Structure 1
């Protein structure tokens, strides 16, 4: 509701963005990543991400870092030769494996956003959704649904509710929006 008290607004300080080391085939994915990075900077929200310097990972980290916000990359030792090509932005924390990476990213962030991505991005965001459902955290989880990228995943969640595999209250764990500005606005509202 417009004009509601500020106590209904969640003040996000550090967001974990899950994204890939590729750009995808459409320029709109890069444009949306840049827009999200600029929104984070405008709101003075720091970034936690997978630590890579290529693809959407490199783009979001560079945008946020160059905008003056803190950037923390968390990367497993085994992925450093694969996901780091060139200079990384901000602070880089190297961990032993994927489980430690996700746990550290979750510990450092007070919200999560998934950009369009592949299996790794999907696995990371689904784990954060499951952790929320299990009560491990109560942090907002957002899907940046660029060009309808997550329409089928959102439909899958709706089907899970319809078929009784996902509780209706748990469906509201996930916030989805087509732009970074709208997604952040929705995530800042207390659920």
Structure 2
């Protein structure tokens, strides 16, 4: 399957997160998958791509021209796509992926994660979404979503469309199980009115 990985591009984070990204890339290769990434060559984004290729996996990098101009592009990608805009980049990443995996990251990672999470809740796709967070970076996000459920803003089923993992192998087990559980290719369930409202 094609696994889209959302992760940090900051060079100022704890190296443990870069190591996690490298472990993720190695697991993509070991399990016979393809990486879809944001096309960057630095920090976690670069680490996951390099490790995937080292293990023999194919990598697809998708980056907007504005970032390509800053020379942070993963030019070693097996397939490199330069888009005109960030929105086009995210749309192509969504389209090329069979599953989504979020590693610890910053605002960009949060934006991508929440957008694909809401799209899953609304029935716009049926692809599995997993958050791999062994160090608790997103602990407060998880608590916030739980509090939104308690307050009636989010239904428990919407919260539970995303799965959480504390280890790389567990994360890939969840992704693979989610892909296996999908219906025929292209099958997207029709959301209810309540699901549409709660996702807004």
TM range (shorter): 0.7 to 0.9
User: Aligned partners of 2:56 and 2:36: how far apart in 1?
Assistant: 14
Which residue pairs with 1:100 in the alignment?
88
Report the CA distance between 1:186 and its aligned residue: 2.1
Q: Count residues in correspondence.
A: 179
User: Aligned partners of 2:14 and 2:156: how far apart in 1?
Assistant: 34
Q: Is the 8 A contact 1:111 1:139 kept in 2?
A: yes
Matched residue SS, 2:61: strand
User: Aligned partners of 1:106 and 1:98: how far apart in 2?
Assistant: 12
Choose which of 100, 113, 126 in structure 1 pairs with 2:101. Answer: 113
Choose which of 9, 14, 19 in structure 2 pairs with 1:31. Answer: 19
**TM-score normalized by the length of structure 1:** 0.88
CA-based RMSD: 1.6
Choose which of 71, 86, 97 in structure 1 pairs with 2:59. Answer: 71
User: Aligned partners of 1:60 and 1:83: how far apart in 2?
Assistant: 18
User: Aligned partners of 1:147 and 1:24: how far apart in 2?
Assistant: 16
**1:40-79 pair list within 5 angstroms:** 40-79=28-67
User: Aligned partners of 1:104 and 1:83: how far apart in 2?
Assistant: 21
Q: Deviations over 1:10-60 (max 9, x none)?
A: xxx110001122245322212211111111111101000000111111110
Higher RCO (Cα < 8 Å, 6 or more apart): 1
Q: Does 1:150 align with 2:134?
A: no
User: Aligned partners of 1:28 and 1:40: how far apart in 2?
Assistant: 19
Q: Does 1:22 align with 2:7?
A: no
Choose which of 171, 181, 185 in structure 1 pairs with 2:173. Answer: 185
Which residue pairs with 1:9 in the alignment?
none
Which residue pairs with 1:167 in the alignment?
155
- What are the ranges of 5 or more consecutive residues in structure 1 without an aligned counterpart? 1-12
4+ runs deviating over 3 angstroms: 85-88
- What are the ranges of 5 or more consecutive residues in structure 2 without an aligned counterpart? 182-200
**CA 1:104/1:87 → structure 2, altered by over 3 Å: closer, same or farther?**
closer
Q: Deviations over 1:134-155 (max 9, x none)?
A: 1110111111103111111111
User: Aligned partners of 2:101 and 2:74: how far apart in 1?
Assistant: 25
Q: Does 1:131 align with 2:106?
A: no
Matched residue SS, 1:51: coil
User: Aligned partners of 1:161 and 1:185: how far apart in 2?
Assistant: 26
Matched residue SS, 1:146: coil
User: Aligned partners of 2:108 and 2:35: how far apart in 1?
Assistant: 18
